[in-house]
Structure 1
Amino acid sequence: MTIETPGIASGSAPVQARITVWDLPTRLFHWALVLLVIAMVWTGWTGKLELHMTLGQAVLSLVLFRLVWGFTGNRYARFTEFVTGPISCLRYLGSLFSSSSGQHVGHNPAGGYAVLAMLVLLAVQAGSGLFTSDDIFTDGPLFSKVSSATGSLLSTVHRRTIWILLGVIGLHLLANVFYLVVKKNDLISPMVTGRKLAPAAADAGRGGHPLLALVILAVCAAIVFGGIALVK
């Protein structure tokens, strides 16, 4: 959602209020994913591959949850709220250093595409890991279900996608610093507290009940972990 706040002739600032933007499930998803990605990188680089694969399935469960939550969460968690057309995103990026970019209560257009990019990359990274092998001791849970050529291809995808993912995460972190230092817009604290300073006319994010999120997460985890256990 964008709230345009053009300059007022008298020089007075628009009235702002602190409103609820991010529901609890969205915030818990975000920070759980942060911890899981850190743990996956560490276990992958230190050779703790059994744990690494379990964490990968947990990541897949969270990604699946976020896809569902993008249609069932509160207003600002829904894809319809922050996924815009590419022209809108380019227009936003072109006005990034000016006041004409407006104030976005939820994700801005560039942030929306960053969310989609990270979800896709995480799905590719964790999904390809199911079919990989270290050619020594450890195979992914579904490695035996594909040909050696396919397994080799997916292993290559798995090894290379992590660098793209880390690059996107790095850009995401730099963007947060840019908004905090240059735009004076704190995007980090609201993902902790759920509340954000926004124009008083902005609507608070309603919906996103934690119990519904818990049920969705349980179903997603059952699909991922149970499905893999049945297939392998």
Structure 2
Amino acid sequence: MTVYVWDFPTRIFHWLLVATLVSQYLTVEVLDNAIQWHFYGGYFMMGLIIFRLLWGIMGAYYARFSAFIVSPAVALTYAKSLNTSHYKASLGHNPLGAYSIIFVLTALITQTISGLFVSDDIFDSGPYYSAVSASTQDIMNWLHHNLFNAIWVFLVLHIGAMIFYKFKMKQDLVKSMLSGYKKINDSNNESSEPIDTQNFWLRAFIFAGLSAGLVYMIVVVLAPEASDEFYY
């Protein structure tokens, strides 16, 4: 049985986030004189995260936080059931995947916020860099650089999990996130009936516009004027 689980807005968010993370790495670690593009990428990522938070509240069913966030006890029980006869596949995000989403969204929210307060110590700085004390700048700088490493560790674990599910559990998560469709085995699936996923195009466009508007407010409208002392 094949079910349409992942709506298009959820899938485009996922792949845009992957592309943005890669570009953020390249603009810092590989490319020369690309730090301003790194800031732009950070603002774009902020918009993505805002969109996902809105979509997690009022988006398609399987993308909503209420549809997949469970208690730690449920997640532990699920983890123990892997590779046993008691295992039940999840139609949407599985309990362990739910906690990985909580982690990565929290990390990226912190990453984008801290990026507003950091500087490359040469020409470019976040829009709120000059509005805080030197000690706060140091804290934000520490958070921004160390969380970046933590996120890459998470991505390695995430890729490892996808490989495990593909070859051990016979679930192609990448293909599902590309097509939106998920194959389920009635005898080895969670008991709840599949719910028709809708793309909610109008809602998605409204949320995208709201996200862009909020980023503009944060980065441009509400940001204090840069201190001239930064350039001397």
TM-score normalised by structure 1 residue count: 0.89
C-alpha distance in 2, partners of 1:109/1:141?
A: 38
Query: Structure 2: any 5+ residue segments left out of the alignment?
Result: 187-191, 224-232
Question: Bigger shift: 129-138 or 151-160?
Answer: 129-138
Runs of at least 4 residues off by over 4 Å: none
Q: C-alpha deviations, 1:107-163, integer Å up to 9, x for none?
A: 100001111111111111121111001222221121011111101110011010011
CA RMSD of aligned residues (A): 1.3
Q: State whether structure 2 residue 81 is matched by structure 1 residue 98.
A: no
Structure 2 residue corresponding to 1:138, chosen from 120, 124, 127: 124
Deviations 1:70-109 (A, max 9, x none): 1111111111111000000011111112131201101100
Q: What amino acid sits opposite 2:203 in the alignment?
A: L
Matches within 5 A, 1:103-182: 103-182=89-168
The match for 1:79 is 65
TM-score (norm 2): 0.89
In 1: Cα distance, 2:69 partner to 2:175 partner: 22
1:198 paired to 2:184? yes
Give aligned-pair identity as a percent.
33
Q: Distance in 2 between matches of 1:88 and 1:42?
A: 38
For 1:40, the aligned partner's letter is Q
Say if 2:54 is the partner of 1:68: yes
Alignment correspondent of 2:208: 217
The correspondence for 2:19, drawn from 12, 35, 50, is 35
Deviations 1:36-91 (A, max 9, x none): 11001111223411110011011011111101101111111111111000000011
Equivalenced residue count is 216
- Unmatched 5+ stretches in structure 1: 1-16
CA 132–119 in structure 1, closer or farther in 2 if over 3 Å, else same: same
What amino acid maps onto 2:65 in structure 1?
A: F
Determine the C-alpha separation between the residues in 1 that align with 2:178 and 2:196: 15
- Cα offset, 1:205, TM superposition: 3.3
